[in-house]
């Protein structure tokens, strides 16, 4: 969920805003600028709280935060082959690694850290930053397109398997073996993403007209959505809601599409005896006799809801999140703003823009703001209104993922991988003293 902002005129907003990314559960937004980077909390609609800001590394073009923890990964144009890992609460560098070519993208969960170069992918153990695997001989991947499941219990990895077609390679980040390949599209890939549990994988091709969802790990097609028919677009962002009931896609057009992942039952109620109902039945019956491409198009589901931007042609990323107990559509754009929309999870339709925040103004800075340090419990996205808060029966006391501001807070057990890591004492996460070095295929390769 990270995007590099489009180039713009010197001194303009696009020049100031280099990149932006939502964290794994869409509770935080990170931006990279010519001056450094900033982290924001997404706990409120009315106020955008800056959690942290740094100017130590200029010209940042990749910045990724691990959930709501103190760990942040940064790559700068000044050293594009070097990945820097920081504990921003303590203001210390955990480690840095150098690679054989420019770093194009970073993906991370609580078990794995993925570094994608144009012709290689490096898989690190995030607890000690040990390099576990180097995937070589992959098709040229100039955009660094890849995906990592945020569910640390499976840590599936997906990346393009072909230069000319939309083939996806599904890789197991735990066993370090290829699981399968998926023939997702006829054209080359533009976007891929996992749902929160790692049980579904969505993809879009460079045409941007059809979005498909596959089951993981067997790679069977589950859903097929049509984004549009009249024009090809560039899909810049593809993301599931945390409960996997919705899938959101943004592009270089003014429309953000939201699809609902539901299968219509075969036993549909009888259409009313009207002319519209009669014609609907006739079209469905006729589709059985039409060419395959036409009948497939008629059976593809359309967007459940849409969000309208006041511009097109800007680089942007989208997210579906629950803020203040209501479902929201979030769009961060290279025009330097975050747009927040209300989403009706029952009826869909046009999402209503309710707030616009500037990402480049000073904003509210509270580095230890408590509403950013809350445990991120995934709620059902379609039924969040007035939901009472509940605590998990299985919890681990004494750990605070926020970096120590709420020491000893009880965090749900599902937040941890095996052997919880600490960010609030001297056993700094990852538990290493020094891990600086060059990574040029020192470990197992495939």
pLDDT digits (tens, 9 = 90+) for 213-271: 999 999 999 999 998 655 678 999 999 999 999 999 999 999 999 999 986 444 344 44
**Residue 24 covered by a domain:** yes
Residue 377 has pLDDT above 80, yes or no: no
Question: Strands (DSSP E) along 13-70, which ranges?
Answer: 17-22, 28-33, 37-41, 49-54, 60-65
Averaged confidence pLDDT in the chain = 79
Give residue 297's pLDDT. 44
Same domain (yes/no): 215, 103 = yes
255 and 225 assigned to the same domain = no
Does 395 fall in a domain?
Answer: no
Note whether 71 and 184 are same-domain residues: no
Q: Are residues 104 and 211 in the same domain?
A: yes
pLDDT at 292: 44
State pTM to two decimals: 0.78
- Span 125-143, pLDDT tens digits: 999 999 999 999 899 999 9
pLDDT one-digit tens code per residue, 67-106? 999 999 999 999 999 999 999 999 999 999 999 999 999 9
pLDDT given at position 398: 26
Does 367 reside within a domain?
no
SS3 category, 21: strand
Residue 226 and residue 104 in one domain: yes
Last residue of a domain, one of 361, 380, 405: 361
Of residues 92, 97, 195, 102, the one with CA closest to residue 144:
102
Asked if 327 and 343 touch (Cβ cutoff 8 Å), the reply is yes
Q: What was the pLDDT predicted at 365?
A: 56
Q: Work out the burial of residue 219: count CB atoms within 10 Å of its CB; fewer than 13 is exposed, 13-18 middle, 19 or more buried.
A: middle
What span, in angstroms and rounded, lies between the C-alpha atoms of 108 and 123? Answer: 10
Q: Give the whole-angstrom CA distance, residue 189 versus residue 123.
A: 22
Work out the percent of the chain whose per-residue pLDDT is above 70: 68
pLDDT at 379: 46
b/e map 390-417, b = 16+ CB within 10 Å: eeeeeeeeebbbbbbbbeebebbeebee
CATH of the domain at 353: 2.40.128
Q: Taking a C-beta distance cutoff of 8 angstroms, is the pair 155, 171 a contact?
A: no
Q: What is the reported pLDDT for 121?
A: 98
CATH of the domain at 146: 2.130.10.10
The reported pLDDT for the residue numbered 251 is 93
Domain boundary residue among 300, 330, 361? 361
Q: What is the pLDDT of residues 292-342, one digit of tens each?
A: 444 444 445 689 999 999 999 999 999 999 999 999 999 999 999 999 999
Asked whether residue 293 falls in the same domain as residue 345, the answer is yes
**Is the same domain home to 87 and 104?**
no
Percent above pLDDT 90 for the chain: 63
Do 136 and 120 form a contact (C-beta atoms < 8 A)? yes
- Residue 52: which CATH number? 2.40.10
Q: Are residues 329 and 208 in the same domain?
A: no
82-86, 172-176, 276-280, 372-376, range with the lowest pLDDT: 372-376
Cβ neighbours, 10 Å, residue 312: 12
Q: Does residue 317 sit in the same domain as residue 197? A: no
Question: 376 near 343, Cβ under 8 Å?
Answer: no
Is residue 390 situated within a structural domain?
no
> Count of residues for the chain?
446
User: What's the pLDDT at 296?
Assistant: 46
pLDDT for position 4 = 65
Q: Token digits for 421?
A: 């890591």
Q: How far apart are CA 27 and CA 15, in angstroms?
A: 26
What confidence category does residue 443 fall into, taking pLDDT thresholds of 50, 70 and 90?
Answer: very low
Count of structural domains, the chain: 3
φ/ψ bin of 360: left (φ > 0), alpha (ψ from -120 to 50), beta (otherwise): alpha
Q: CB count, 10 Å around CB of 154?
A: 21
Asked whether residue 429 is domain-assigned, the answer is no
What whole-number distance in Å separates Cα of residue 287 and Cα of residue 283?
A: 6
Q: Domain containing 288: what range? A: 236-263+275-361
Distance CA(397)–CA(10), nearest Å, equals 50
User: Any idea of the CA torsion for 130, 106, 328, 372, to the nearest 10 degrees?
Assistant: 50
Tell me what pLDDT residue 423 has: 44
Half-sphere exposure (CA, 13 Å, Cβ side) for 53? 15
- The pLDDT tens digits for 395-434 are 322 222 333 223 223 323 333 333 334 444 333 344 433 4
DSSP for 356-390, written as a single string: EEESSS--EE-TT-GGGSS--PPPPGGG-TTPPP-
Residues 345 and 298 in one domain: yes
Confidence at residue 439, expressed as pLDDT on a 0 to 100 scale: 62
pLDDT band at 381 (very low <50, low <70, confident <90, very high): very low
Residue 408 lies in a domain: no
Both tokens assigned to 194:
């996992």
Nearest to 318 by CA among 383, 369, 363, 254: 254
185, 235, 368, 431 from 404: Cα distances, Å: 46, 39, 9, 16
pLDDT at 289 over 90: no
- Provide mean pLDDT across the span 277-282: 52
pLDDT digits (tens, 9 = 90+) for 207-229: 998 999 999 999 999 999 998 65
Is residue 394 in some structural domain?
A: no
Q: Do 190 and 125 fall into the same domain?
A: yes
CA dihedral 277, 283, 284, 287 (to 10 degrees): 180
The reply to whether 56 and 155 lie within a common domain is no
The verdict on residue 258 lying in a domain is yes
pLDDT of residue 25: 95
Q: Name the helix (H) or strand (E) containing 294.
A: helix 292-299
Burial (Cβ within 10 Å: 0-12, 13-18, ≥19) of residue 124: buried
Looking at 97, 116, 132, which one is the last position of a domain? Answer: 97
Among 403, 330, 407, 401, which Cα is nearest to 367's? 403
């Amino acid at each position: 969920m990270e995007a590099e902002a489009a180039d713009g005129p010197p001194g303009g907003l696009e020049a100031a805003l280099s990149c932006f990314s939502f964290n794994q559960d869409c509770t935080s937004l990170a931006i990279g600028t010519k001056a450094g980077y900033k982290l924001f909390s997404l706990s409120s609609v009315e106020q955008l709280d800056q959690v942290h800001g740094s100017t130590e590394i200029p010209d940042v073009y990749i910045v990724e935060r691990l959930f709501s923890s103190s760990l942040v990964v940064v790559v700068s144009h000044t050293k594009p082959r070097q990945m820097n890992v920081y504990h921003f609460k303590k203001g210390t560098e955990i480690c840095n690694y150098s690679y054989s070519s420019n770093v194009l993208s970073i993906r991370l969960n609580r078990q794995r850290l993925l570094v994608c170069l144009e012709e290689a992918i490096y898989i690190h153990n995030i607890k000690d930053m040990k390099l576990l695997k180097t995937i070589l001989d992959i098709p040229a991947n100039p955009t660094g397109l890849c995906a990592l499941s945020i569910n640390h219990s499976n840590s599936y990895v997906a990346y393009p398997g072909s230069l000319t077609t939309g083939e996806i390679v599904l890789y197991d980040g735990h066993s370090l073996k290829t699981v399968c390949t998926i023939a997702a599209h006829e054209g080359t890939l533009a976007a891929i993403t996992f749902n929160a549990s790692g049980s579904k994988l969505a993809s879009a091709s460079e045409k941007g007209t059809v979005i498909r969802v596959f089951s993981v790990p067997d790679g069977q097609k589950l859903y097929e959505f049509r984004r549009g028919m009249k024009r090809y677009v560039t899909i810049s962002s593809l993301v599931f809601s945390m409960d996997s009931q919705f899938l959101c896609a943004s592009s270089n057009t003014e429309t953000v599409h939201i699809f609902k992942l539901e299968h219509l039952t075969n036993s549909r109620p009888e259409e009313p005896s009207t002319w519209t109902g009669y014609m609907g039945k006739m079209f469905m019956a006729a589709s059985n006799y039409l060419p395959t491409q036409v009948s497939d198009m008629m059976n593809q589901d359309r967007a459940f809801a849409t969000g309208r931007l006041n511009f097109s042609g800007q680089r942007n990323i989208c997210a579906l999140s629950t803020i203040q107990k209501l479902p929201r559509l979030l769009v961060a754009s290279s025009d330097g703003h975050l747009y927040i929309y209300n989403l009706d999870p029952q009826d869909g339709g046009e999402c209503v823009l309710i707030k616009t925040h500037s990402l480049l103004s000073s904003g509210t800075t509270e580095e230890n703001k408590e509403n950013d340090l809350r445990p991120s419990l995934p709620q059902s996205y379609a039924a969040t209104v007035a939901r009472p808060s509940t605590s998990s029966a299985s919890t681990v006391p004494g750990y605070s993922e926020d970096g120590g501001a709420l020491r000893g807070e009880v965090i749900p057990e599902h937040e941890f991988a095996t052997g919880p890591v600490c960010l609030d004492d001297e056993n700094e996460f990852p538990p290493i003293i020094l891990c600086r070095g060059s990574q040029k295929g020192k470990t197992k390769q495939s």
